[in-house]
């Protein structure tokens, strides 16, 4: 493997291992009737107790929701009895980021859908090497999905993982989108096939609980300035959950926090991550692993 001069591959592997262990811990908590807030906080606590920070809030997306659901501070929702649950987890150490995901089928009815996402992922991993075109990977993901009677979600996909940035440079599609960008030796990437029995597209839902600081803005409210300063100091430019502010800024009401987040978002200081929902209400399965691209293969680090 040709190393990038500014990469600490030992730390990258350490973060990947921690992310995967947290994912498995969370998988064991996904049971019918379990509170989503309890699961998220348990997994996030698991990561922090092992000396890591969070690359992003734990995502627990159920059934037609594909990504970006994280509980509110007072969330009372529970895992449904027949839920198809996507758990997406990432640890962070310094500016090195982990990212991995799994789907748990509590119904027993979507085993083939989950299996298709897993096989698509393993097939894609087997193709990874320096010089591989990303559309070739997408083509195989789609082939696996369609051979099982499903379709890939075309407006979601894998991504490069850089220091400071979880979704960086290269985009790895779940179908042949014609992008002939080649993977580079030493590059860190995450591949995540989203497979559905729906249309194969996601839309933005109304729920927004994940945010990321992207810049500064002149705001009038003192409370909003306080929230902005707190975010910058504690979460830097990494995604964070609104509920973290409820827990850590105890002097502010939920209303004040919501108003501040809305004002900062409107001013362009925050990026928002709405829950992504399958466009026609199809069920969604996701599998994701992170890896280092090598000359003739890759090293999976979330394992």
Active site residues per annotation: 88, 99, 159, 167, 192, 288
Distance, CA of 284 to CA of 86 (rounded, Å) = 8
DSSP string, 174-232: SS--S--PBP-TT-EEEE--EEESS-S-EEEEEEEEEEEE--------HHHHHHHHHHH
- Strand 194-196 and strand 270-278: pairing? unpaired
Distance, CA of 227 to CA of 116 (rounded, Å) = 43
C-alpha closest to that of 16 among 80, 84, 99: 99
Structure tokens at 139: 């083509």
Structure tokens at 41: 């906080």
- Contacts of residue 302, defined as CB under 8 A and 6 or more positions apart, other chains included, come to 16, 17, 19, 20, 23, 98, 99, 100, 288, 289, 290, 291
Structure tokens at 137: 């990977």
């Amino acid at each position: 493997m040709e190393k990038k001069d500014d990469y600490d591959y030992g730390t990258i592997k350490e973060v990947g291992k921690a992310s995967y262990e947290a994912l498995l811990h969370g998988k064991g908590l996904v049971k019918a009737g379990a509170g989503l807030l309890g699961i998220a906080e348990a997994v996030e606590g698991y990561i922090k107790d092992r000396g890591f920070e969070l690359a992003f809030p734990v995502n627990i997306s159920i059934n037609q929701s594909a990504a970006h659901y994280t509980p509110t501070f007072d969330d009372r929702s529970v895992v449904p009895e027949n839920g198809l649950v996507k758990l997406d987890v990432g640890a962070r150490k310094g500016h090195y980021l982990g990212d991995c995901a799994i789907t748990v089928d509590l119904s027993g009815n979507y085993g083939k859908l989950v299996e298709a996402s897993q096989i698509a992922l393993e097939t894609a991993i087997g193709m990874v090497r320096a010089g591989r075109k990303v559309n070739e990977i997408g083509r195989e993901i789609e082939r696996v999905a369609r051979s099982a009677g499903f379709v890939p979600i075309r407006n979601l996909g894998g991504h490069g993982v850089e220091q400071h940035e979880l979704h960086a440079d290269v985009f790895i599609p779940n179908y042949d989108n014609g992008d002939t960008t080649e993977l580079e030796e030493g590059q860190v990437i995450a591949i995540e096939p989203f497979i559905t029995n729906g249309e194969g597209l996601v839309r933005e839902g109304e729920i927004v609980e994940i945010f990321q600081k992207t810049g500064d803005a002149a705001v009038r409210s003192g409370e909003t300035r306080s929230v902005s300063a707190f975010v910058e100091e504690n979460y830097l430019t990494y995604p964070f959950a609104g509920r973290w502010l409820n827990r850590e800024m105890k002097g502010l009401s939920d209303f004040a926090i919501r108003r501040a987040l809305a004002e900062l978002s409107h001013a362009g200081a925050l990026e928002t991550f709405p829950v992504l929902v399958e466009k026609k209400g199809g069920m969604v399965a996701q599998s994701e692993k992170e890896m280092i691209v090598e000359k003739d293969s890759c090293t999976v680090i979330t394992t």
